[in-house]
Structure 1
Amino acid sequence: MDRNTFTGLFLIMIILVAGFYIIRPSADDIKKAQETAHADSVKKGLIKTPGDAVKTNQTAKADTNQTIDSAVLKTPFGAATIGKQNIVVLENSDIKVNLNTLGGKVQAVELKNYKTFDKKPLVLFDGDGNKFGFSFAAANKDINTNNLYFTQVATSDTSITLRLTYTPQQYIDYVYTLPANGFKLGLTVKATGLDNIIANSKSLNLQWAASLHKQEKDMKQEREFSTVYYKYANDNVEHLTVNGDEQKDATDKEKKVQWISFKQHFFSSVLIAKNGVEKTNVEVKTDVNSLTDVKNMTANVTLMRDAGGAIPLEFYFGPNQFSILKKQGYDLQDQVDMGWGPLKYINRFVVLPVFNFLNQFNWNYGIIILVLTILLKLVLSPLTYKSYLSMAKMRVLKPEMDEIKAKVGEENPTLLQQEYLKLYKKAGVNPLGGCLPLVLQMPIVIAFFRFFPSLFELRGESFLWMKDLSTYDAVITWGSTIPVFGNHISLMCLLMTISTLIYTYFNNQVSGATGQMKYIGYITPLIFFGMLNSYPAGLNYYYFLANMLTFGQQYLIRLMVDDKKIHAKIQENKQKPEDPKKKKSGFAAKMEEMMRQQQQAQQGKKK
């Protein structure tokens, strides 16, 4: 590797580090802002203590500054512009849903069996940033149900009906149903007697928007896994960017959107259209100055009424746990980020089933990761052995390579490589033999890089000093943010980096690496320390275990591999006459032809 190549690689590594540079508020500022936001929600009555399955906020008052204007009352739905903003609670064993009579919408959702990272009630969204309104034209006037008052007309232990009245015989009902357990809230929207009032009454336009609250310790990481997801019927899931703001018209004439998800890192709010969506426009925005809201998400869709005049919908408010999402149907599990390309299939069909199998034993997740790593190392042990053996052969050949280098010199690198290839061929050594097994292992290593950050099961789970395996384990923290490190140092990331440096040292001893390649091996772990310092402790724990188990594997292999026997075998191969019938591999033939052309070009320059 020449100096220019080394410089280029080094600059690429520096760019990677710069890409992970972040500016975060201090931990005290975040905590203070979250406490203030929670207190405001409690004060407004958006977060309540658990109570009856269905209850109405008896303290609700008529909205201020409302005046009854007879002219307004004569307009379409004019009477609905005046009313009381009541909060109606519908809850089961898993979720608590606050319904607001203003707009008839879901005002707030609390997941009862989960807490935020700081052990507070986990409320997905609440407040004025949440909208759910159908828009249509009635008697040449634009109507949006989000701004009109509904009345509660029917109640049971599992359902509530909110009505938007035009006349006693003409109205729109929102029928909410919630089973005794689970994370799904049913909603049937039905217009009665309004076909001659609502223009183009066969379809209704819906705007759904929510400001999703911070639930996890690391706002940056939560934002990196949060955006709008949507899925076409019988097709793959798609999503907007996670790295910034984006707006997209997702309408497709040939296929309907089945569901739209306001996805956070570990929780989602999903709107499922049982009959599909005709038109879809989705948007995600990030207020980088907000300490409490992860992202603002919006969906504008067109929904068709069925033969009975109804629009059947469902909400899913719950965790992004693969097994739970799969039980909901509609392929909701496709929104769990398992990586791209082949990585996705490795995680979904290999790693996840093994993890779920181990999870049945109710072990601590630190133990499960340990067993998972051991199983992986056992499966890959043949490749590890071949890699070590190939590097050992190259180490044994190094004295002869040094002799060739001294004889030929470094002034003609093409000729030097040709002589090396001749030596490899006589000795029966593949110079890429140590690299290929490592390359074959890389997809699995990278797959874990996506698997652990997306694994809901690690959320809030502790092991040893790590209080939460789904986020970083800060051993040292400071108030301000500095490049590379942020505002903390992760102990497990530090241990992983140290073990990688030690592994690199011993690996260099085995392979005989020298010069620039040797130093790149030491620089890379330091770069990855900056990259992984804010990644989940569970991921760094896995990499640490992988390094330690590799030490053990190489120690055992070293006991089995005798350098003297390898040297004797190489010398034996060198004495064998070359078989003229043996065809060269395509790779070897191309390498020899390329070097021959380079040699001719160099000779031409000398002339």
Structure 2
Amino acid sequence: MDKNSIWGLVIIGAILIGYTYLTKPSAEELKAIKTRDSIARVEQARDQQLETERFTAMKAIEAEKQKDPTHLQETFGVFSSAAAQKEEFITLENKLVKIKVSNKGGRIYSVQLKDYQTHDSLPLILWEGEKNRFGMSFYAENKPIDTQDLFFSSDAGFENIDASSQQKTLSMKLKASDDQYLEYVYTLAPDSYMLDFDIKVIGLNNIIARNQSNLTFNWQADIYGKEKGHKNENMYSALYYKHSEDDVDNLSEGGNDEEDIATQVKWIAFKQQFFTSALIAKNNFKGIKLKSVDMDEHSPILKNFSAEISLPYSGDVKESYPMQFYFGPNKYKTLRKYGKDIQLEKVINLGWGIFGWVNKYVVIEVFNFLEKYMSNYGLIILILTILIKLVLSPLTYKSYLSTAKMRVLKPQIDEINERIPKDKAMERQQATMGLYKKAGVNPMGGCLPMLVQFPILIALFRFFPSSIELRQKSFLWASDLSSYDSIMTLPWDIPWYGDHISLFCILMAVTNLVYTKMNGQMQTSNQMPGMQAMMYMMPVMFLVWFNNYASGLSYYYFIATLFTIVQTWAIRKWMVDDNKVLAMLEASKKKPVKKSKFQQRLEEAAKKKGFNAKK
């Protein structure tokens, strides 16, 4: 590293430190900010109280109005008797999930995953609340009906149904009469994240508008954050869907997005970083509208997802729409067991093409094998890293050997450059390539092994943030390997960096800096101006980029780079001697150069062309 590069890094570091210091609020400004925040909080609390009182009053007035039989008849027609009742809940559960069903709308009100908790040790609820929508909409007797506003009845009564030992079924009916009703049938098997959900339309053919060819099923939910890293979790949360005869697609993970899909769709999934709520058609959906709304970064809600699904209606006495819900973790093996044809595991973004193959058939398999023998995931990552580096060690050796060959030939290349002036660049290049050919050196030999390792690097970049196995697993100072490891909270937020310091990220940056310096010492020629400084800037950029990423990922890169440093040092000290490499190359230069078949054909063609020209 030359003096100019060192000064460049010092100046850049000074600028960053100076910018942070100069933009830091003074004590007076901090006090003023706190005062303004306190006043704002008081005013906000007062406004919220007034809004709550107004809402309560309006709700009371509306409730009284809703009790008026004339109003109910005018609004809901044959369903008026189901319009004014008291909301009650039925809990349907097994060993894995606890599903709360409301008689209002007959809908799934909330879903709790019993084996998981949020980052702050609260029960993990996928979605719940009055703002969420779940139900059918259609026209009956020329009146718009939304089932979420009406009350369903249950023959089982409103008691908890424990399905831990056997399959249980819950029927919820919205009745126009005893033989005219809309029915939701929920069936939960023991030890399963899958809930069967059937919609049945019985005897409503004379009530639902005859010109209505579709009934609309609406599903909308606020997606609350459950992990420590809000930004990171939001980045891996999106609305996914699978085309019936094609691959899985998704709405944008960042910002608002919506899409109308006319083709057949197998399933729709409200996917978060580690958990998913998915609605799966037994046949296929056709004609759906999807929407994803991004919330403010300070909101506890990450996104709002909504799906509007058109269900074909032919006006028969009995019609049925069989579906399934999956409420569970984004664990590859778990999702895979529910059917290869469904391909629900594709909500986990393991990377496209070769990157996904590396994760599916190598990383996940090795990871799951090691899980059987140890519970410390820090050690699992360590062993996984060492295994990968050992498998790739022949490529590391080949890469270093190629670099060593280029290095020992450097004096001869310098002699060519001195002998041939700069204005004869083509001649200089031909002489250099001729030297490489005689010595049997491939200038790209050091790059190709690195290119082979690249898919593994990218695959693991995808694997760690998506691996639920690392969620809430601690190692050393990291309390959660799926989130950042904060050893210090900063008094202010630094742009692009954050408000904390991650130690694994620092260790990763330091090892990358050491490896960059080691590589710089092995270079065979002077780099372009500024290139060396740019190489030294990469570890600094890693320090910024990875500060908010999963600590398991930073830990892996730290161990992998440290292992590579040790490998390189060992190869240089005991396996590759520059003098022996030079002697080997000199011996190769004395051997006759073998011409490739392609080169022989070119020379024969040139001779034939010259012979014809003489004639």
What range is the shorter-chain TM-score in? 0.7 to 0.9
Paired residue secondary structure (2:219): strand
**How do 1:40-439 and structure 2 match up within 5 A?**
65-70=65-70, 72-73=72-73, 75-155=77-157, 157=162, 158-199=168-209, 203-252=214-263, 256-304=264-312, 309-329=319-339, 330-410=342-422, 412-439=424-451
Determine the structure 1 residue equivalent to 2:521: 509
1:443 to 2:458 alignment: no
How far, CA to CA, are the matches of 1:109 and 1:585 in structure 2?
72
3-state DSSP of counterpart to 2:522: helix
**Does the residue aligned with 2:86 lie in a helix, a strand or coil?**
coil
The separation in 2 between residues aligned to 1:228 and 1:572, in whole angstroms, is 63
Q: Which amino acid aligns with 2:278?
A: V
Query: For each residue in 1:285-318, what CA deviation from the matched residue of structure 2 results, as whole angstroms up to 9, or x when unmatched?
Result: 1112552111100111122479952222221111
Q: Closer, same or farther in 2 for the Cα pair 1:458/1:562, shift >3 Å? A: same
**Aligned-pair CA distance for 1:584:** 4.3
Q: Which moved more, 1:191-200 or 1:139-148?
A: 191-200
CA contact (8 A) 1:154 1:162 kept: no
Q: Which runs of 5+ in 1 are unaligned?
A: 1-27, 45-61, 590-607
SS at match of 2:289: strand
What is the CA–CA distance in structure 2 between the aligned matches of 1:241 and 1:147, rounded to whole Å? 31
Q: Tell me what 1:22 maps to.
A: none
Are the structure 2 counterparts of residues 557 and 87 from structure 1 closer, same or farther at C-alpha, using a change threshold of 3 Å?
same
Give the counterpart letter for 1:73 in structure 2: Q
Instruction: State the partner residue of 2:588.
Output: 573
Report the counterpart of residue 30 of structure 2 in structure 1: none
Between the aligned partners of 1:80 and 1:286, the Cα distance in structure 2 is 35
Amino acid at match of 1:572: A
Q: Which amino acid in 1 is paired with 2:561? A: N
Q: Which amino acid aligns with 1:243?
A: G
Q: Quick check: which has more Rg, 1 or 2?
A: 2
Following superposition, the deviation at residue 514 of structure 1 comes to: 3.4
Assess if the C-alpha contact under 8 Å between 2:410 and 2:525 holds in 1.
no
Which of 576, 594, 597 in structure 2 is aligned with 1:561? 576
Structure 1 residue 234: deviation in Å?
A: 4.8
Deviations 1:423-453, CA, capped at 9 Å, x for gaps: 2122221111111111111111111110111
Q: Check whether the contact 2:66–2:72 (CA below 8 A) recurs between aligned residues.
A: no
Q: In structure 2, what is the Cα distance between the partners aligned to 1:416 and 1:464?
A: 56
1:232 CA drift (Å) = 2.6
Structure 2 counterpart of 1:530: 544
Letter in 1 for 2:588: N
Name the aligned partner's letter for residue 564 of structure 1. Answer: N
Query: CA 1:360–1:420 in structure 2 vs 1: closer, same or farther (change >3 Å)?
Result: same
Moved more, 535-544 or 360-369: 360-369
Higher relative contact order (CA 8 A, sep 6+): 1
One-letter code aligned to 1:341: G
Q: Is the 8 A contact 1:305 1:311 kept in 2?
A: no
What is the deviation of 1:579?
A: 4.8
Counterpart-to-counterpart distance in 1, 2:532 and 2:585: 25
CA contact (8 A) 1:276 1:303 kept: no
Cα drift, residue 152 of structure 1:
2.7
Question: Helix, strand or coil: the match of 1:196?
Answer: coil
Q: Give the letter aligned to residue 532 of structure 1.
A: F
2:484–2:549 contact (8 Å) kept in structure 1: yes
Against the structure 1 CA distance between its residues 289 and 553, is the aligned structure 2 distance closer, same or farther, given a 3 Å change threshold?
A: closer
- In 2, the alpha carbon distance for the partners of 1:303 and 1:170 equals 19
- How far the C-alpha of 1:277 sits from its partner, in A, is 1.0
Structure 1 residue 528, shift from structure 2 partner: 2.1
Distance 2:592 2:95 in 1: 79
Contact in 2 for aligned 1:186/1:315 (Cα 8 Å): yes
Q: Which range moves more in the overlay, 414-423 or 519-528? A: 414-423
Structure 1 residue 76: Cα displacement: 3.5
2:22 aligns with none
Task: Please name the residue that 1:485 is paired with.
Answer: 497
Cα distance in structure 2, aligned partners of 1:64 and 1:85: 16
Q: Secondary structure at the match of 1:275?
A: strand
Matching residue's letter, 2:202: T
Shift of 1:129: 2.6
Give SS of 1:417's match.
Answer: helix
Shift in CA distance, 162/479, structure 1 to aligned 2, threshold 3 Å: farther
Paired position in structure 2 for 1:57: none
Secondary structure of 1:205's counterpart equals strand
Q: Cα distance, 1:577 vs. partner?
A: 4.5
Q: Distance in 2 between matches of 1:310 and 1:515?
A: 70
Q: What displacement does 1:573 show?
A: 2.6
Q: 2: CA distance between counterparts of 1:217 and 1:226?
A: 14
How much does 1:496 deviate? Answer: 0.6
- SS of the residue corresponding to residue 250 of structure 1 reads strand
TM-score (norm 2): 0.81
Query: TM-score, normalised on structure 1?
Result: 0.82
Q: Contact 1:63–1:85 at 8 Å: present in 2 too?
A: no
**CA separation in 2, counterparts of 1:441 and 1:208?**
44
**Aligned partner letter, 1:235:** D
CA contact (8 A) 1:188 1:313 kept: yes
Distance apart, 1:585 and its partner CA = 10
Q: Contact 1:226/1:242 (CA < 8 Å) preserved in 2?
A: yes
Q: Relative to structure 1, is the Cα distance of residues 202 and 275 closer, same or farther in structure 2, using a 3 angstrom cutoff?
A: farther
- Distance in 2 between the 1:245 and 1:447 partners? 28
Q: d(CA) in 2 for partners of 1:140 and 1:65?
A: 22
Structure 1 residues 526 and 513: CA distance shift in structure 2, 3 A: farther
Q: Is the 8 A contact 1:88 1:98 kept in 2?
A: yes
What letter is aligned with 1:461?
Answer: K
The aligned length equals: 530
Q: CA deviation at 1:339?
A: 0.8
SS at match of 2:511: helix
Q: Tell me how far 1:273 sits from its aligned partner.
A: 1.6
**Deviations 1:146-191 (CA, angstroms, capped at 9, x unpaired):** 2212223325543332221212331112222223332222222222
**What code does the residue aligned with 1:530 have?**
V
Q: In 2, distance between residues paired with 1:64 and 1:312?
A: 38
CA offset digits 1:355-411 (Å, max 9, x no partner): 111122134111111111111112211111110000001110112222222333445
Q: CA deviation at 1:582?
A: 6.5
SS of residue matched to 2:392: helix
